[in-house]
Structure 1
Amino acid sequence: YIVSDCDSVGVLYNTQHYTRTPEEAAADAIKAAIHTEGAVRGGLLREEDVNLALAYTITVQMRLGMFDGEPSAQPFGNLGPRDVCTPAHQQLALQAAHQGIVLLKNSARTLPLSTLRHHTVAVIGPNSDVTVTMIGNYAGVACGYTTPLQGISRYAKTIHQAGCFGVACNGNQLIGAAEVAARQADATVLVMGLDQSIEAEFIDRAGLLLPGRQQELVSRVAKASRGPVVLVLMCGGPVDVSFAKNDPRIGAILWVGYPGQAGGAAIADVLFGRANPGGKLPMTWYPQDYVSRLPMTDMRMRAARGYPGRTYRFYKGPVVFPFGHGMSYTTFAHTLSKAPNQFSVPIATSLYAFKNTTISSNAIRVAHTNCNDAMSLGLHVDIKNTGDMAGTHTLLVFAKPPAGNWSPNKQLIGFKKVHVTAGALQSVRLDIHVCKHLSVVDKFGIRRIPMGEHSLHIGDLKHSISLQANLEGIKF
């Protein structure tokens, strides 16, 4: 069932002006399975609609055992303080932070650092010793924090300099001390980025660059550093760090998001190779000039003249880092062991509908075919760890429709995460459903399955599947 976010039904009327009255907002909400009152009295809703919404809610409560008698006798009836911040929960927080870290750059195997060679590490940046910043917003009370500085201190002696007064970094008074620290250390880790004062609900960024003098801090410290330089970005949204990507003195870049209470421990584990990063970027990282070509009043997805389009599916311009990007300390090889080359799409409609609406622009309406399990195609992929370190690999599968009036770029249709030890091979199966994954929505909002060659991008492999219409199911 569906429930609303806090105040969202009111927002429909008060802020978005979607309806003329609060009662109409309530009626629209309950039709989407959100329970509220008032609309029934005004005749906008039937009592049956309310009963149906209530049934959805009660069904979930029944699954939780809330109608099975004395709560204390039920599986979830004795939860209390002892169930909060258990060792298992804290370990889960660390695992989540490990899995969320994305390795964006690693020139000449800068990472992982070595405890044998890097005895002293300069830890620099406005996010280098933060706590609450790591949990972002809409979070509970943390059990305790391990800051990046504390995490790195478990592996090496540290020299700490903030380099800035907060992430706004409005001055360069502290940069000199940061340069001195970098000259004294065997390696330098810069923990930069944003926080809730820069990006949050009701706080939008006007650009994609690092705030204030952060870029100056990074560049000057990298130039002064005696050893390898690693840039760690703590932020929720993308940042244009082209300068760091192109700077040969900055050997590695990590994006850690807002990694939670164990974020500092996870960052240190990845820096020193105790954990192998396997995260993938969940969004495209655009260059700064992208913002100037994308008015916030224009929410179109598809590109047009003078308009770049949104997301990896429609935007074709230059990027800082692409959607799905993420490196590892090891290497993986893919082999497609089994995959269909062609498939006949059955048509289940009348001859009249077929002639008039089923086939359009060499595509079949999804509503006019049998979208059952027989429409699922199995892809079998062998993933081999060809490096010298165990790692987790997320296999991404993209599909690109045949040439035509469709989305011009590929789109993600499936993924599978596997852990593979060094030298080992794992076989995975991904099911590609023709109706769900190979269909597109045309300019009229109708979902269709284009006929012809569909190109699948499976990791670094490419495979084509030819779809043809099967006319045997037409009703005469």
Structure 2
Amino acid sequence: MAAASILQLLFSLHFLFVLFAYVKGGPIVVCDTRALAELGYDPIKLHFCDKSLPYQVRAKDLVGRLTLDEKIAQLGDKAEGVKRLHIPAYNWRSEALHGVSDVGFGTHFDDTIRAATSFPTVLLTAASFNETLWKAVGEAISDEARAMHNVGLSGLTFWSPNVNVATDPRWGRIQETAGEDPFLVSRYGVNYVRGLQDVKGYINVPDKNSRPLKVAACCKYYTPYDMEKWTADPTKKTDRYHFDAQVPDRDMLETYNYPFEMCVKEGDVASIMCSYNRVNGIPTCADPKLLNSTVRGLWGLNGYIVDDCDWVVATVLIPERYRNDTPADAISQAFRAGVDLDCRGNYSPHYMMDAITQGKLSEAEIDHALINLYVVLMRLGWFDGSPGDYLHLGQNDVCSKENLELAAEAARQGIVLLLNDNSLPLPLNYSTPDGSGRKPTVAVVGPHANATTAMLGNYALKTGTACRYVTPLDAIQGYANVKYAPGCLDVNCEDTSGFQEAAKATDGTDATFLFLGLDLSYEDEDSDRQNLYLPKNQIALLDAVFKEPYPSLLVIVVLSGGGVDLSDWGSKVHAILWAGYPGAEGGQAIADILFGKHDPAGRLPISWYKGDYTNKLPMTSMQLRPNPALGYPGRTYKFCTDDGIVFPFGFGMSYTTFNYTISAPKSVSIELPETQKCIHIANPTEDCPSILVANSKCTEMVKIVVTVMNIGQRNGAHVVVLFSSPPDNIGGTLPRKRVVGFQRVFIKSGESLPVEFNLNVCKSFSFISEDANELLPAGDHSIAAGNDFTGGLVFTESAVSTKISIMIHQGTSQTRRIDHL
């Protein structure tokens, strides 16, 4: 064989070996000196592989070497790669909402790694109100992601977390979110993103685009997105593809955009995904104001923007399509508005070439998108090798004992005790005449009593597998003698033949645990709820169990994302526990709470409304403030009155008792330069009624100290939630209160702990005016720890509060000026 042929054969074998190593045996390094040399390149002359150059320069050099066809082939989620430059194909879409998942095509499982750790769905983890936990979960998940990448089973770009604010209790994806409060959602997003992305030693660097990434997170779905498919009116197509969210700028700034802003500014997230729907008539992925002007220009995204999957096709195929677009129109509008990557990449190449040949999109705009994408891949080490110490991670680091325990702990910390007449926790031993004691005997009943895949929620493994399952039944058997009679095996309970057996199982027991709730057939992506009640046959099962002779102790455990109206049963049951979708370790967490091995301290991250709430307003209304003319109640705890709520946002009981005292300065004085204007607000009582936050330095801080005393008999964790309320004399519909801080602490029985909150005055005491300006008003602001609530099943819940007078001084009275915005 000729020498040239031998060399050609060796080259081909080497390329196949490298490609196989990437696909199966481990990650490829694009700038591998030996591989590039064998391709005939002098690595020194390839500037995109010169580590001494900034990533932006390297990415620009690489893009300059590509043909137009090669460029277009990289702009979908399944990027084809460029073999001649040793750039392999790359699938951008992996998911890690609450654990590495094979929902995204960039990740799969095989005999090497069969599953990843299943953490609780986001809403339950958020209920812990524990920022340290959220970051730890992100770190554990990114460890598993890197381990899977090292054996060729995963990419490095994960399209998580979901940081939408959940404003409608019917939304099918409410389980994916961190709740209804923008501050809570933003703190969850920032910590989770940091847990996924941060490489130790590179947390704060001058040039964010040079900061290495462990994996690249993506905050989605930008922006007002609170509907999947609402079928209350079958004559209309009301779904996420057709929906046009009418949202005033005030609500965008105050609620919907805030978590995304924090994701970018404080989380330094590597990506933003725009949503399917329109906002005020314009598709989010084709709106340059939302993308280029806001995400990139105002917030300073260091990374890429991706549209949601099938966005291009959805935009052009719906009957009321935007501007009668063709696919070429849609793809050009998206990329010109700021999109860098099309999630459903098989549509991009043909349409994008059409857009270019028709003059609707320029090659320079494509180059800009590619540079954004390649800079992220460079920060991930795809070109130069793994940043940090991650190459050692492998099969044994997935489903590790430590990660499984962390998943169980996340569920324990999030579970919320909603009702308890002191029947819980159940004793571990009951006295007997001979003094030896006995384990409790309990009935375990209900469709979720032996739950497995239902505990995973959505965005779990497509195959429905997990490292292992610890069902509620399994875990309770470790504490008690169990009589198991589910009554029915699915949440619809269509087969009622087991109801009497379930009722009989309660006879002679110390307690009955009734596991009820929902699953993905009721709430999921593309499935909104029609009401806020349990499935009717579950109520029939509850009726069957609650008959004479009544169970000695009846505890309801609810597995669900959104809330359910149990107000008719509040006076009949002894305790109610909400366990969300607690992940594959969830059964252990539930049992540990029921039997008191761990004290419950979770708090609701959403309001639980009365069932008739949804009859009062359509899902198509995005209005947060009440509308008396239409009879619409307000949305979320900020605007909905107590009489519409069963359990309020931030509510959660404990097995012990805590008392609060609060201390704060009586006043805060802000001195303005003479050139800064005061702003008029309705009914002003101060010489300087308010100031525009954007024009202020906003360095003033105030320290609030909430002293928490555990006056109960048990040690326990406790969450302190701090709210602020504006002065009473300001006109307009302002939030009744809003979260400005929270901390989770642990306090032993009989001890007290001072919990400090250091608040920036502008951030914590401002409000958004009707014309979408952030103003800091002078006057008496209220600060409260805990809820003041009357109604629902809580009846009363007290908060401790104080007032802080904010005084704004500007020069002298002769030079003071007041503007009307």
Partners of 2:517 and 2:523 lie apart in 1 by 10
Aligned to 2:714: 389
Aligned partners of 1:67, 1:30: CA distance in 2, in Å? 28
Question: What is the deviation of 1:170?
Answer: 3.3
Aligned residue for 1:79, secondary structure, equals coil
Contact 1:348 / 1:368 at 8 angstroms: preserved in 2?
Answer: no
User: Does the aligned pair in 1 maintain the 2:441–2:510 contact within 8 Å?
Assistant: yes
Question: Equivalents in 2 of 1:28, 1:309: separation in Å?
Answer: 34
Whole-angstrom distance in 2 between the partners of 1:390 and 1:17: 59
**Which of 451, 455, 467 pairs up with 1:134?**
455
Aligned residue runs from structure 1 range 326-475, under 5 A: 326-337=652-663, 339-347=664-672, 350=675, 354=677, 358-361=679-682, 362=684, 363-367=689-693, 369-372=695-698, 374-403=699-728, 404=730, 405-459=732-786, 460-472=799-811
1: CA distance, partners of 2:748 / 2:700? 34
Work out the CA distance in 1 between the residues paired with 2:779 and 2:488.
57
Partner of residue 227 from structure 1, selected from 536, 542, 552? 552
Q: CA deviation at 1:13?
A: 2.7
Task: After superposing the two structures, state which structure 1 stretch, 456-465 or 23-32, moved more.
Answer: 23-32
Residue ranges of structure 1 left out of the alignment (5+ in a row): none
Does residue 323 of structure 1 match 2:649? yes
Post-superposition offset of 1:398: 0.8
Find the residue that maps to 1:435 and give its secondary structure.
helix
Q: Which amino acid aligns with 1:7?
A: C
Give the superposition deviation at 1:340: 1.8
- CA deviation vs aligned residue, 1:40-65 (integer Å, no higher than 9, x gap): 944667947964x6666566555544
Larger radius of gyration: 2
Consecutive unaligned residues in structure 2, runs of 5 or more: 1-269, 274-306, 343-347, 431-438, 787-798
**Bigger mean CA offset, 17-26 vs 236-245:** 17-26
Correspondences of 1:21-36 after superposition (within 5 Å) = 21=325, 23=329, 27-28=333-334, 31=337, 34-35=340-341
Aligned to 2:140: none
Note if contact 2:674-2:811 (Cα within 8 Å) is conserved in structure 1. no
Q: 1:253 aligns with which of 576, 579, 595?
A: 576
Distance 2:366 2:758 in 1: 37
Residues 100-111 of structure 1: pairs in structure 2 closer than 5 A: 100-107=414-421, 109-111=422-424
Matches within 5 A, 1:20-59: 21=325, 23=329, 27-28=333-334, 31=337, 34-35=340-341, 38=352, 41=356, 42=359, 47=364, 51=368
The aligned runs of 1:213-224 (5 Å cut-off) are: 213-223=537-547, 224=549
Q: Which amino acid aligns with 1:79?
A: L
Q: What is the CA–CA distance in structure 2 between the aligned matches of 1:29 and 1:240, rounded to whole Å?
A: 45
User: Are 2:488 and 1:164 aligned?
Assistant: yes
Of Structure 1 and Structure 2, the greater strand share is in 1
Amino acid at match of 1:359: H
Query: What SS class does the counterpart of residue 546 from structure 2 fall into?
Result: helix
Quick one: structure 1 residues 345 and 66, their matched pair in 2 at CA, closer, same or farther if it must change by over 3 Å? farther
Cα offset for 1:410?
1.1
Distance 1:408 1:387 in 2: 34
More displaced stretch, 138-147 vs 424-433: 424-433
CA separation in 1, counterparts of 2:691 and 2:752? 40
State yes or no: 1:204 paired with 2:538: no
RMSD: 2.8
Q: CA deviation at 1:429?
A: 1.5
Are 1:112 and 2:425 matched, yes or no? yes
Asked if the contact 1:12–1:25 (Cα under 8 Å) also holds between the matched residues in 2, the reply is no
Q: CA deviation at 1:388?
A: 1.9
State the alpha-carbon separation in 1 of the partners of residues 382 and 752 from structure 2. 46
Residues 312-368 of structure 1 deviation map (CA, whole Å, 9 limit, x = unaligned): 10111331111111011111122224x1221233445846xx37xx33334534345
- Cα distance in 2 for residues equivalent to 1:426 and 1:82: 40
Per the alignment, do residues 216 and 6 of structure 1 end up closer, same or farther by CA in structure 2, a change over 3 Å counting? same
Tell me the amino acid that sits aligned with residue 385 of structure 1.
N
| Matches of 2:556 and 2:700, distance apart in 1 | 46
Structure-2 change in CA distance of 1:446 and 1:420 (3 Å): same
2:405 pairs with one of 68, 91, 104: 91
SS at match of 2:669: strand
Aligned residue pairs total 464
How far off is 1:184 after superposition? Answer: 3.1
Corresponding letter in the other structure for 2:804: I
Give the CA deviation at 1:437. 1.9
- SS of residue in 1 equivalent to 2:502: helix
Change (3 A) 1:8 1:32: farther
How far did 1:35 drift? 4.1
Deviation at 1:425, TM superposition (A): 2.3
Q: Report sequence identity in percent.
A: 37
Deviation of 1:413 after TM superposition, in Å, equals 1.5
When residues 375 and 242 of structure 1 are mapped into structure 2, their CA distance, relative to the original with a 3 A threshold, is same
Does structure 2 conserve the Cα–Cα contact (< 8 Å) formed by 1:24 and 1:44?
A: no
Query: Is the alpha carbon distance of 1:377 and 1:27 closer, same or farther for their aligned partners in structure 2, counting shifts above 3 Å?
Result: farther
* AA matched with 2:574: G
Q: Does the C-alpha gap of structure 1 residues 336 and 81 become closer, same or farther in structure 2, counting only changes over 3 Å?
A: same
Task: State the Cα distance separating 1:434 from its structure 2 match.
Answer: 2.1
Q: Which moved further from structure 2: 122-131 or 390-399? A: 390-399
Structure 2 letter corresponding to 1:103: L
Residues in 2 aligned to 1:18 and 1:25: alpha-carbon distance in whole angstroms: 12
CA shift for structure 1 position 469: 2.0
Other structure's SS at 2:393 match = coil
User: Would the alpha carbon gap of residues 35 and 282 (structure 1) be closer, same or farther in structure 2, given more than 3 Å must change?
Assistant: same
Distance 1:158 1:471 in 2: 71
